[in-house]
């Protein structure tokens, strides 16, 4: 039995993993689909102080409270920032990292500097309070504004990532227009320390390619390759 911790991207809550959560639990695994502070059912907690550190603490708090070890940390889109920070801070609890069409930050990176100008224009459409970026109109109607400070704050890493045994990247090859993750995918598929996949789906791979994604997640929890 493996333990999966699922971290959504911008504007989404843990609901975006509903189908994957059910499928993984049907196979006997523990699954924690999280909603980050300030979003979805936790939108009432949104304020100007909700940042990347807050979201990393959301996940590290669950790992500690549930005594989770050797977790498969899965991050979609912006969630790549979060799982990277979590694995750096709690490497003893992170077994595998799976990035679903996500940013892959290094020390000092922010989500802002890792995306294209088109994505940055999305971020600048903020709600009246100035605390959050409005969801795009073509997203799921359940999407809620995303805390802007979490997109701007640089991630600080301390070296804990070197202890993670497996890293997987899943690229969405079916974007409608330019993907901000194409360069990342091409770079990581040539890196022997990564396993890279390309799936025929849009950015919301959980909706567009659930069966293929399920297989990748199951493999990510398996024994290391020789």
Active site residues: 77
201-96-216 Cα angle (round to 5): 30
What six digits make up the tokens of 225? Answer: 């390759």
SS3 198: strand
- 140, 97, 102, 107: which is closest to 119 by C-alpha? 102
What is the spatial distance between Cα 168 and Cα 152, in angstroms, rounded to a whole number? 25
DSSP 154: P
């Amino acid at each position: 039995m493996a333990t999966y911790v699922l971290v959504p991207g911008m504007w989404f809550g843990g609901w975006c993993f509903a189908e994957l959560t059910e499928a993984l639990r049907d196979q006997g695994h523990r699954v924690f689909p999280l909603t980050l502070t300030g979003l979805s059912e936790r939108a009432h907690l949104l304020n100007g102080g909700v940042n990347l550190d807050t979201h990393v603490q959301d996940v590290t708090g669950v790992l500690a409270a549930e005594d989770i070890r050797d977790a498969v940390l899965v991050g979609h889109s912006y969630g790549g920032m979060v799982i990277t920070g979590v694995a750096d801070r709690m490497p003893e609890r992170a077994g595998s990292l799976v990035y679903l069409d996500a940013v892959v930050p290094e020390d000092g990176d922010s989500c802002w500097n890792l995306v294209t100008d088109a994505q940055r224009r999305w971020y600048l459409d903020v709600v009246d309070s100035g605390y959050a970026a409005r969801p795009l109109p073509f997203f799921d109607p359940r999407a809620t504004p995303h805390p802007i400070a979490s997109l701007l704050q640089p991630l600080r890493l301390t070296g804990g990532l070197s202890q993670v045994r497996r890293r997987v990247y899943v690229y969405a090859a079916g974007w409608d227009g330019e993907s901000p993750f194409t360069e990342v995918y091409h770079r990581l598929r040539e890196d022997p320390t990564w396993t890279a996949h390309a799936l025929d789906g849009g950015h919301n791979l959980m909706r567009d390619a659930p069966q293929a994604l399920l297989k990748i997640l199951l493999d990510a929890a398996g024994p290391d390759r020789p």
